[in-house]
Amino acid sequence: MGKKVIIIGAGGVGNVVAKKCAMNPAYFSEVVLASRTLKKCEAIAEECKKIGLPTSVQTRQVDADDVPALVQLFNQEKPFMVINVALPYQDLTIMDACLATGVHYLDTANYEPKDVAKFEYSWQWAYQERFKKAGLMALLGCGFDPGVTGVYTAYANKHYFDEMHYLDIIDCNAGDHGKAFATNFNPEINIREITQKGKYWENGEWIEIDAMSIHKPISYPNIGPKESYLLYHEELESLVKNFPTIKRARFWMTFGQAYLTHLEVLQNVGMTSIHPIKFNGLDIVPLEFLKAVLPEPGTLGENYSGQTSIGCQIKGTKDNSEVTYYVYNNCHHADCYKEVQAQGVSYTTGVPAMIGASLMCEGVWFNPGVYNVEEFNPDPFMELLNIHGLPWHEEVNGELPHTY
Ligand code: NDP
């Protein structure tokens, strides 16, 4: 018997989560999609009907910055859980509303305050005792990265290593959406992420580097070598905490030259700033204005060709011998569009969110408190990835894409 779920956020990722939930009535008996702009929810619900999904999606308008409005919505709908795929700014207000109404919580990106481009888990980890006391569970970062990358790491640790020592998460988008410049997920969040300083973990401390200053070609399966940049990414924080044998953890992501050139120009002219300026008597945040003129991630799918490839490569030991391990998924943008009218980055985020929610609904992953994905048994999640559209491949002691 499935459970009732509310999805908050009707963007690129929300579209995928809504459709994947509506496709799986065994996990989700009722699906409500709520967002700031009601007509975006209605358009997705209409498409679900058009493609003949078994569960009809109900729609609601809500401003997720407003705790009383969320409390009212949750009290009316009485869902088992909420899947938060709005923006990281809304994580804490939605968690507060969950505590006030007895609703379980899942998200795909950790909280960041609007006025500081800084993301870390401390704010959400601080809810641990309150969730535990209320008998509620919050699952943090259950997209692809963070999300599947944490599950991959937990799976590697469980099955292949006594001690993991070196972790490299490698993320490639070798797709082409045909636009001069666009971001694959929310532009504001994406640009904040890559214009801040890079950071990686080595020998018990964080090493900070200038943004995009370390890069090298990495050879991705079925794609080939692509220039990849060392970034700070939020799952590094929880993974080095939960797997303390890791001596070094880094995150790499590909960017095309045209993207980097656009970004450099936008930065040089001040368009990526998060500090308000006065314009015609109004306070305007340049990055928020830039977001308004860029294509929305949910609209990029139609002519998107090529594929993504995201994986973890790990070096460590088992029975005193050295082991290397690589696990990854490749995902074609066109296949995602055919199935749920989305591009691959929304798809690879939305499917794991649905899977995490299904495991919570079924009680397979369930523990009161606030958790990251790698704290649960990875096996059932890995099985569901193969079933729901993100099959994975592994190589043990094979050649690694990233040479050390
Ligand atoms: P979009 O910009 O396409 O969608 C965001 C949605 O949230 C929009 O529908 C927006 O509404 C809605 N929203 C924003 N503010 C509020 C609010 N105050 N109240 C209610 N709804 C609101 O972004 P994406 O779908 O691409 O990304 C969604 C989330 O997924 C982001 O947090 C992103 O960081 C995360 N993500 C995680 C990844 C992972 O692998 N873990 C990868 C990619 C994304 P409106 O249309 O009115 O603006």
Tell me which amino acid residue 48 is: C
**What's the pLDDT at 94?**
98
Domain final residue, candidates 140, 172, 192: 140
pLDDT tens digits, one per residue of 212-227:
999 999 999 999 999 9
Query: How far away, in angstroms, is 13 Cα from ligand 1 center?
Result: 7
Do residues 210 and 332 share a domain? yes
For ligand 1, atom 11, which residue shows the shortest CA distance? 36
Name the residue with the closest Cα to ligand 1, atom 34: 109
Atom of ligand 1 nearest to the CA of 12: 25
- Number of helices and strands (H, E) in the chain? 14, 18
State residue 186's pLDDT score.
Answer: 87
Listed in sequence order, the DSSP H helices in 269-343 are: 286-293, 333-340
Same domain, 184 and 320: yes
3-class DSSP assignment, residue 248: strand
Report which of 344, 369, 341, 374 is spatially closest to residue 356, judged by C-alpha positions.
Answer: 374
Q: Does 72 share its domain with 207?
A: no
Residue finishing a domain among 108, 140, 172? 140
Closest ligand 1 atom to Cα of 65: 18
Last residue of a domain, one of 75, 109, 140: 140
pLDDT tens-digit map of 348-368: 999 999 999 999 999 999 999
- Looking at the CA of residue 296, tell me the nearest atom of ligand 1: 3
Ligand 1 mean position, distance from CA 193 (Å): 14
351 alpha carbon to ligand 1 midpoint, in Å? 15
Indicate if the pLDDT at residue 1 is higher than 90: no
Query: Domain for residue 91, yes or no?
Result: yes
The atom of ligand 1 lying closest to the CA of 188 is 2
Domain count, the chain: 2
pLDDT higher than threshold 70 for residue 3:
yes
- What are the structure tokens assigned to 128, written together? 């641990």
| Residue 240 predicted with pLDDT over 80 | yes
pLDDT in the model for residue 403: 63
> Per the domain annotation, does 240 fall within a domain?
yes
Return the pLDDT at 38: 98
Is the pLDDT score of 33 beyond 80? yes
Give the pLDDT of residue 116. Answer: 77
Q: Summarize pLDDT for 291-309 with one digit per residue, the tens.
A: 999 999 889 989 999 999 9
Dihedrals φ, ψ of 262, to 5°? -60, -45
Q: What is the secondary structure of 108-122 as a DSSP string?
A: SS----TTS----TH
| Percent of residues, the chain, with pLDDT higher than 70 | 99
Range of the domain at 136: 3-140
DSSP-derived 3-state class of residue 134 = helix
Q: For residue 370, tell me if it sits in a domain.
A: no
Q: Are 157 and 164 in contact (CB under 8 A)?
A: yes
Kindly state whether residues 122 and 208 are assigned to the same domain: no
The residue type of 45 is A
- Asked if 64 and 94 touch (Cβ cutoff 8 Å), the reply is yes
Place 165 in a pLDDT band, splitting at 50, 70 and 90: very high
Examine the domain organization and report whether 129 and 165 are in the same domain. no
* Per-residue pLDDT band at 115 (split at 50, 70, 90): confident
Measured by CA distance, the residue closest to atom 14 of ligand 1 is 86
User: Are 282 and 304 contained in the same domain?
Assistant: yes
Let me know whether 104 and 194 are in one domain: no
pLDDT over 70 (residue 205): yes
Q: Are residues 118 and 256 in the same domain?
A: no
- Inter-residue contact 336 to 346 (CB < 8 Å): yes
- Segment 115-120 shows an average pLDDT of 80
* Percent share of the chain, pLDDT over 90: 89
Q: Read off the CATH number of the domain in which 53 is found.
A: 3.40.50.720
Instruction: Judge whether residue 114 has pLDDT over 90.
Output: no
Q: Domain for residue 115, yes or no?
A: yes
pLDDT at position 399, please? 80
List the alpha helices (DSSP H) in 102-218: 122-125, 128-134, 148-159, 187-195
Helix axes 344-361, 333-340, angle to 10 degrees: 60
Same domain, 175 and 127: no
Ligand 1 centroid – CA 330 distance (Å)? 23
How far separated are the first and last CA of the chain, in Å rounded?
48
Residue 33 alpha carbon to ligand 1 centre in Å: 13
In a domain, 378, yes or no: no
Q: Is residue 349 part of a domain?
A: no
Quote the ligand 1 centre to 10 CA distance (angstroms).
Answer: 7
**200 plus 247 within the same structural domain:** yes
> Is the predicted pLDDT of residue 402 greater than 80, yes or no?
no
Q: Using one digit for the tens of pLDDT, what is the confidence trace for 318-327?
A: 999 999 999 9
Instruction: Give mean pLDDT, residues 246-255.
Output: 97
In this predicted structure, the answer to whether residue 91 has a pLDDT above a threshold of 60 is: yes
Claim: this prediction has a pTM higher than 0.85: yes
Distance, CA of 131 to CA of 140 (rounded, Å) = 13
124-149 pLDDT, tens digit each: 999 999 999 999 999 999 999 999 99
Q: Are residues 112 and 187 in the same domain?
A: no
- Ligand 1 binding pocket, CB closer than 6 Å: 8-14, 35-37, 40, 62-65, 85-88, 90, 108-109, 143-147, 185-186, 189, 296-298, 345-346, 349
Supply the CATH number for residue 290's domain: 3.30.360.10
Question: What is the band of 383 on the pLDDT scale with cuts at 50, 70, 90?
Answer: very high
CB atoms within 10 A of CB 282: 8
Higher-pLDDT residue of 84, 184: 84
Domain identity same for 66 and 179: no
Q: Is residue 352 in some structural domain?
A: no
Sign of the alpha-carbon dihedral angle for 88, 121, 32, 390: positive
Asked if residue 353 is part of any domain, the answer here is: no
The mean pLDDT value of the chain amounts to 96
pLDDT value at position 404? Answer: 57
pLDDT tier, 193 (very low <50, low <70, confident <90, very high otherwise): confident
